[in-house]
Chains A and B, each alone.
Chain A
Amino acid sequence: MKLDAHIPEGPIEKKWDTHRFKMKLVNPANKRKFTVIVVGTGLAGGAAAATLAELGYNVKAFCFQDSPRRAHSIAAQGGINAAKNYQNDGDSIYRLFYDTVKGGDYRAREANVYRLAQVSVNIIDQCVAQGVPFAREYGGVLANRSFGGAQVSRTFYARGQTGQQLLIGAYQALERQIGLGKVQMYARTEMLDVIVVDGVARGIVTRDLVTGKVEAHMGDAVALGTGGYGNVFFLSTNAKGSNATAVWRAHKHGALFGNPCYTQIHPTCIPVSGDYQSKLTLMSESLRNDGRVWVPKKAGDTRAPGAIPADERDYYLERRYPSFGNLVPRDVASRAAKAVCDEGRGVGPGGLGVYLDFADAIKRLGANTVAERYGNLFQMYERITGEDPYKVPMRIYPAVHYTMGGLWVDYNLMTTVPGLYAIGEANFSDHGANRLGASALMQGLADGYFVLPYTIGDYLATVKPGAVGLDHPEVKAALARVNDRTAKLLAIKGKRTVDSFHRELGKLMWDNCGMGRNKAGLEHNLKRIPELRAEFWQNVSIPGTGEEFNKELEKAGRVADFLELGELMCRDALHREESCGGHFREEYQTPDGEAARNDERFQYAAAWEWKGEGVTPVLHKEALNFEYVHPTQRSYK
């Protein structure tokens, strides 16, 4: 297989325009003859479904939640980047492009990133027109803030609920099309397989989560906007339902998986409190604008934080990174927290935590200003931990938050299966090895509103609508596969719950494929995960039947997929003998403990091909060329 990213010719600032001009168009009168299937209704999927319907295509949209408004994009707090330069502080499309490539530690495709920066400005306009209530200045214009270590103010926000407001904007656009009859919406419906006929994606198989009915849906193209796979770790900031089933089943039908080992660990989450913990809660990164991160200088110091005098505290981010201080990028901040906890200087129960202290900010700005900026976050913290951050420093610890890896896609967002697209977090494309803050919302909406609706037309112009019907043998085979698998899961009737397997997998992944990775740990996982998987298929216990609302059955299917994907993540992490972005191999670091990239050997995107159950997957490489932003060691000192 030869990987071709289909990057258009020409200078980077012209590529997207030239490409759009060269794309074939579907005759407006013919658009209603085509059906596009969109799976997932988050920012990417919801925006794509609405926009495709506006263009005149028939759309079938699917989500596993009870309403398209609940997709996990909703939980994003901080904001969305756009190169508007409204603050006149020197921002530009080129600067956003540059920052994103550098922030991704030179492991993203330049052409895609440039396009992302270009359309970022359209996104804001679109969302404002929909009525997204962005924060405003008194003059009525849009407000901005600086976020996630960016040195310009380019982040737009709606209180601490930017993801929610953007998603509701997309949801409203989607509901409008549903009301007009252009989108058929299937909520509480999970995609369980792709139907591939002669190598081309033609439809999907779904299960109605209320009745258990398994059905095939045919379409002329399929777009997966199903989000990331952070829940492999069991404990993450993802929603409980977030899963990798759609992308994993696509992978098994020939869609290569790009950079599975690139996961983002967010530095500011509330630490784990007990064994029953079901998920982790993120505290917005904006807290680091005013909070100071520290731990005691002495290991094992159990005094209350207030009893530790200033000269016995180690403000380790300010010490190690004097120019960025507490605002270093996420991967750097997370690793530094792990390092101090590994030295036994962590705080709180179990020693897995560091302080995020607002005492100085309260002194400098007054409690009122601090409340204005972070009031709702402080409240959320207090609700969860029972501690008052105005009085005692918050305790935070890193947690899995986002996955930069995903299905490999070309410039058109098409996977290696013709007719099958991946958008938003589900693809691997734009963030390289590390994503900058406020860039996930930008990418989801860019793909959904402004990229896919164009590129999919170029493909549809070349296919005959409705070419494969429900009676095709491949459709029957796909239905049989799904039904067999459900029957097989239900027949196991073992002793262990789904969650107990999931927790065990999560622990293996967190310990050996989390913030720090090394050869021995990864090899251990590559041995242990297949054993755990084998046990799962013999000993999992799923009550009930397949013909009813059965949450354990849903979870079991997802965990079965995580048990395969986790192994691939470890394999990818093991092969990548360098450290870059969110992927930190302990063997490959600079003398002062920073990530050491190896551009000579690893300046490529890894794309893995599924070869069957128990067979080692095959690695393909897409070489990355940096014509504009030249790789240097990222330095935040």
Chain B
Amino acid sequence: MRITLNVWRQKNARDAGGFEKYDCPNVSEDMSFLEMLDVVNEDLIAKGRDPIAFDHDCREGICGMCGFMISGVAHGPESGTTVCQLHMRKFKDGDELWLEPWRAKGFPIIRDLTVDRSALDRIVASGGFVSVHTGSAIDGNAIPVPKPNADLAMDAAQCIGCGACVAACPNASASLFTSAKISHLALLPQGQPERDRRAINMVERMNAEGFGHCTNIGECEAVCPKEIKIENIARMNRDYLCASFKKRPEVKRVED
């Protein structure tokens, strides 16, 4: 089939950028979306032009490295799917598509469809962990976890950190991402000792990174390739609020 692509090209963060049009005449429906871009790139290189820069690694939908907007939808039209797992049979012959990078203040553009998502790492570094040194753990079965809790924690822990939730949100909020980590640990007994400070530190870090607030629009949940539920945001808000009320002096704020 034939697909027309309008791709956002931007050499670096300082460049203004703009769309360029590419005609892809021989797209096989068994190709993945990224394989189609590989073919476009091979062609560009053969003509001595710069290939389209897009992030990807595992191409199995698990590493979270890939992601861009396809005609305004993060990771494209198929729900619960990263762009590397999106196959061309989901499109029609003659489709014209618009590819853009994630757009958010917290995600500066590096080149073309590639953005800098290191803010997400900094949110995790502010509290998304259990402080347990290697070697200090007790026997695994000494911490029983009710199966329903383990399953819910796993649902939240599946987040691949791709940033689609931020890109889809009109407020460019990282609430779904942050709340998935807070929920994963808040649902487990291991996460309890640091539950309050984790909620406070991570939420404040998220705000400090320039991400917006959640206003319950739900775009994030709709595009999440791992189908992380928005109820995690409710859990985060609850934890943040509770923790703020009972804030003891040892609860360190990000700013001080």
| A241-B136 Cα distance, complex, nearest whole Å | 34
Task: Evaluate contact between A161 and B121: CB separation under 8 angstroms.
Answer: no
Chain A 546-590 interface 0/1 with B at a Cβ cutoff of 8 Å (1 = within): 001101100000000000000000000000000000000000000
Task: Evaluate contact between B137 and A72: CB separation under 8 angstroms.
Answer: no
Q: In the complex, which residues 120-160 of chain B have their Cβ closer than 8 Å to any Cβ of chain A? A: 120-121, 124-141, 143-147, 150, 153-154, 157-158, 160
Given A138-B147, A176-B131, decide whether A278 and B59 contact each other with a Cβ distance below 8 A.
yes
Task: Evaluate contact between A130 and B63: CB separation under 8 angstroms.
Answer: no
Given A133-B184, A133-B188, A386-B30, decide whether A65 and B63 contact each other with a Cβ distance below 8 A.
yes
Interface residues on B, range: 35 or more
Q: Which of B1-9, B47-55, B91-99, B228-236 contacts A (4 or more CB under 8 A)?
A: B47-55
| A281-B117 Cα distance, complex, nearest whole Å | 26
State how many angstroms separate the Cβ of B74 from the closest Cβ of chain A: 17
Among B12, B45, B58, B131, point to the contact of A74 (Cβ < 8 A): B58
Task: Evaluate contact between A274 and B30: CB separation under 8 angstroms.
Answer: yes
State how many angstroms separate the Cβ of A59 from the closest Cβ of chain B: 13
Chain B 182-203 interface 0/1 with A at a Cβ cutoff of 8 Å (1 = within): 0011001011000000000000
Which of B57, B114, B150, B184 has most chain A Cβ within 10 Å? B57
| B31 touches A (CB below 8 Å) | yes
Q: In the complex, which residues 135-161 of chain A have their Cβ closer than 8 Å to any Cβ of chain B? A: 135-142, 158-159, 161
| B62 touches A (CB below 8 Å) | yes
Residue of A nearest to B29 (CB): A386
Among A130, A135, A138, point to the contact of B132 (Cβ < 8 A): A130
Task: Evaluate contact between A130 and B114: CB separation under 8 angstroms.
Answer: no
| A125 touches B (CB below 8 Å) | yes
| B118 touches A (CB below 8 Å) | yes
Residue of B nearest to A130 (CB): B130
| A561-B183 Cα distance, complex, nearest whole Å | 43
Residue of A nearest to B191 (CB): A131
| B65 touches A (CB below 8 Å) | yes
State how many angstroms separate the Cβ of B155 from the closest Cβ of chain A: 9
Task: Evaluate contact between A281 and B60: CB separation under 8 angstroms.
Answer: yes
Among A67, A125, A383, A543, point to the contact of B51 (Cβ < 8 A): A543
Residue numbers in B under 8 Å from A273 (CB-CB): 28, 30
Given A128-B137, A135-B150, decide whether A67 and B118 contact each other with a Cβ distance below 8 A.
yes
| B179 touches A (CB below 8 Å) | no
Main SS of the interface on chain B?
loop
Task: Evaluate contact between A499 and B136: CB separation under 8 angstroms.
Answer: no
Task: Evaluate contact between B154 and A172: CB separation under 8 angstroms.
Answer: no
Task: Evaluate contact between A74 and B62: CB separation under 8 angstroms.
Answer: yes
| A171-B138 Cα distance, complex, nearest whole Å | 20
State how many angstroms separate the Cβ of A276 from the closest Cβ of chain B: 5
Task: Evaluate contact between A543 and B132: CB separation under 8 angstroms.
Answer: no
Among B120, B145, B157, point to the contact of A136 (Cβ < 8 A): B145
Residue numbers in B under 8 Å from A276 (CB-CB): 28, 31, 35-36, 38-39
Residue of B nearest to A493 (CB): B48
Residue numbers in A under 8 Å from B185 (CB-CB): 131
| A129 touches B (CB below 8 Å) | yes
| A302 touches B (CB below 8 Å) | no
Given A84-B140, A165-B157, A168-B157, decide whether A175 and B135 contact each other with a Cβ distance below 8 A.
no
| A72-B36 Cα distance, complex, nearest whole Å | 23
| A619 touches B (CB below 8 Å) | no
Among B118, B134, B143, point to the contact of A54 (Cβ < 8 A): B134
Task: Evaluate contact between B134 and A125: CB separation under 8 angstroms.
Answer: no
Residue numbers in A under 8 Å from B137 (CB-CB): 122, 125-126, 128-129
Chain A 172-211 interface 0/1 with B at a Cβ cutoff of 8 Å (1 = within): 1101101100000101000000000000000000000010
| A453 touches B (CB below 8 Å) | yes
| A129-B188 Cα distance, complex, nearest whole Å | 10
| B32 touches A (CB below 8 Å) | yes
Among A72, A131, A134, point to the contact of B63 (Cβ < 8 A): A72
| A52-B59 Cα distance, complex, nearest whole Å | 31
| A495-B87 Cα distance, complex, nearest whole Å | 30
| A70 touches B (CB below 8 Å) | yes
Which A positions have Cβ atoms within 8 angstroms of B?
Answer: 47, 50-51, 54, 65-72, 74-75, 84, 86, 122, 124-131, 133-142, 158-159, 161, 164-165, 168, 171-173, 175-176, 178-179, 185, 187, 210, 239-241, 273-274, 276-279, 281-282, 380, 383-386, 449-450, 453, 495, 497, 499-500, 541, 543-544, 548-549, 551-552
Q: A131-B184, A276-B28 are in contact. List 7 more A-B contacts (CB 8 A).
A: A65-B63, A127-B140, A240-B58, A274-B31, A276-B38, A383-B87, A384-B85
The 4 closest A-B pairs by CB, nearest first: A140-B144, A129-B137, A179-B125, A172-B129
Which B positions have Cβ atoms within 8 angstroms of A?
Answer: 11-12, 28-32, 34-36, 38-39, 42, 44-46, 48-51, 53, 55-65, 78, 81, 85, 87, 89, 110-111, 114, 116-118, 120-121, 124-141, 143-147, 150, 153-154, 157-158, 160-161, 184-185, 188, 190-191
* A–B pairs, 14, beta carbons within 8 Å: A51-B134, A54-B133, A70-B63, A159-B158, A165-B157, A274-B28, A278-B34, A279-B59, A380-B61, A386-B87, A450-B134, A450-B135, A541-B46, A543-B50
